[in-house]
């Protein structure tokens, strides 16, 4: 990953498979390394962030000039958009991993019966990553996730549920999105693509964190989502693919 951090001045137009690989690598890094990465990505939300560094050499200055020229051509809009999207997604993954490290919170000093002051600390709750909930197939949990993504695309889902879907002006999800997300999680839950130690609610929460989507009143949703028309439609699409259960 060391070489990867040196790529802040290039366009991050890599695909989902590569993003999964570097996301898995995040889990092996120390907190200090991740915090430095967080700083660097925050300082460089896009390729060749303005202003041009004072230390920029002739080659780097040429790159900035080239970027300005590309921005004038609409056919490169998708490249700029993907670069920004990947950086935001990676920054979110880094921040989620940082949040997993224990952060003792000192509370008010309290005295014991012997009159000796003690300092209490409370560990922060651990965040469950979506990758952690997945039962690994050949190639690891990242391969399982890619398999699920591929199958939802093959099934022709109405939404790209592994990306953050823009909510409606009233703050609600587009009609059918909740059912589509529910169908994906429940189908692969029933087909044992998730580890046995995780329940549906834990998996849903981990997935929502991973995708950046939300479901209002999750408890209520979990009690009735199998009656949702969109759920039944998308579940049937996955079922038609005749996906084998994991043993």
Q: Let me know whether 178 and 217 are in one domain.
A: yes
Q: Let me know whether 139 and 226 are in one domain.
A: yes
Q: Which of 89, 122, 155 is the last residue of a domain?
A: 122
Residue 183 within a domain:
yes
The 3-class SS string of the chain reads CHHHHCCCCCCCCCCHHHHHHHHHHHCCCCHHHHHHHHHHHHHCCCCCCCCCCCCCCHHHHHHHHHHHHHCCCHHHHHHHHHHHHHHHHHHHHHHHHHHHCCCCEECCCEECCCCCEECCEECCCCCCCHHHHECCECCEHHHHHHHHHHHHHHCCCCCCCCCCCCCCCCCCCCCCHHHHHHHHHHHHHHCCCECCCCCHHHHHHHHHHHHCCCCCCHHHHHHHHHHCHHHHHHHHHHHCCCCCCCC
Q: How confident is the model at residue 192 (pLDDT cuts 50, 70, 90)?
A: very high
Q: Let me know whether 98 and 140 are in one domain.
A: no
Q: Let me know whether 157 and 139 are in one domain.
A: yes
What is the pLDDT, as a whole number, of residue 88? 84
Residue 58 within a domain:
yes
What is the pLDDT, as a whole number, of residue 107? 42
Evaluate if residue 20 carries a pLDDT over 60: yes
Q: What is the mean pLDDT of the chain?
A: 81
Q: Let me know whether 35 and 134 are in one domain.
A: no
State both tokens at 228: 């949702």
Evaluate if residue 156 carries a pLDDT over 70: yes
Q: Let me know whether 182 and 199 are in one domain.
A: yes
Q: Count the domains in the chain.
A: 2
What is the pLDDT, as a whole number, of residue 69? 85
Residue 244 within a domain:
no
Q: 31-35, 57-61, 188-192 — which one is most confidently predicted on average?
A: 188-192
Phi-psi region of 81 (alpha: psi -120 to 50; beta: other; left: phi over 0): alpha
Q: Let me know whether 6 and 117 are in one domain.
A: yes
Q: Let me know whether 138 and 84 are in one domain.
A: no
Q: Let me know whether 97 and 142 are in one domain.
A: no
pLDDT in tens, 48-105: 877 777 777 888 788 888 888 888 888 888 888 888 888 888 888 888 778 777 654 4
Domain that includes residue 153, residue range? 130-239
Q: Let me know whether 17 and 109 are in one domain.
A: yes
Q: Let me know whether 111 and 190 are in one domain.
A: no
């Amino acid at each position: 990953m060391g070489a990867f951090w040196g790529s802040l001045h290039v366009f991050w137009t890599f695909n989902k498979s590569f993003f999964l690989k570097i996301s898995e690598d995040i889990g092996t890094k120390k907190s200090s390394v991740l915090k430095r990465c967080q700083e660097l990505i925050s300082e460089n939300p896009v390729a060749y962030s303005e202003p041009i560094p004072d230390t920029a050499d002739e080659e780097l200055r040429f790159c900035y000039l080239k970027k300005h020229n590309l921005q004038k051509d609409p056919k490169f809009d998708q490249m700029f958009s993907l670069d920004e999207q990947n950086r935001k997604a990676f920054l979110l993954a880094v921040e989620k991993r940082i949040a997993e490290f224990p952060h003792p919170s000192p509370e008010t000093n309290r005295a014991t019966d012997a009159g000796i002051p003690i300092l209490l600390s409370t560990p922060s709750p651990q965040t469950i990553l979506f990758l952690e909930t997945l039962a690994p197939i050949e190639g690891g949990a990242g391969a399982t996730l890619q398999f699920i993504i591929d199958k939802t695309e093959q099934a022709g889902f109405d939404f790209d549920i592994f990306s953050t879907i823009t909510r409606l002006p009233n703050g609600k999800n587009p009609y059918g999105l909740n059912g589509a997300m529910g169908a994906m999680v429940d189908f692969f839950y029933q087909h044992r693509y998730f580890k046995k130690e995780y329940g549906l609610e834990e998996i849903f929460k981990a997935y929502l964190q991973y995708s950046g989507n939300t479901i209002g009143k999750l408890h209520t949703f979990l009690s009735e989502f199998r009656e949702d028309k969109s759920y039944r439609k998308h579940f049937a699409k996955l079922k038609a693919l005749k996906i084998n259960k994991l043993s």
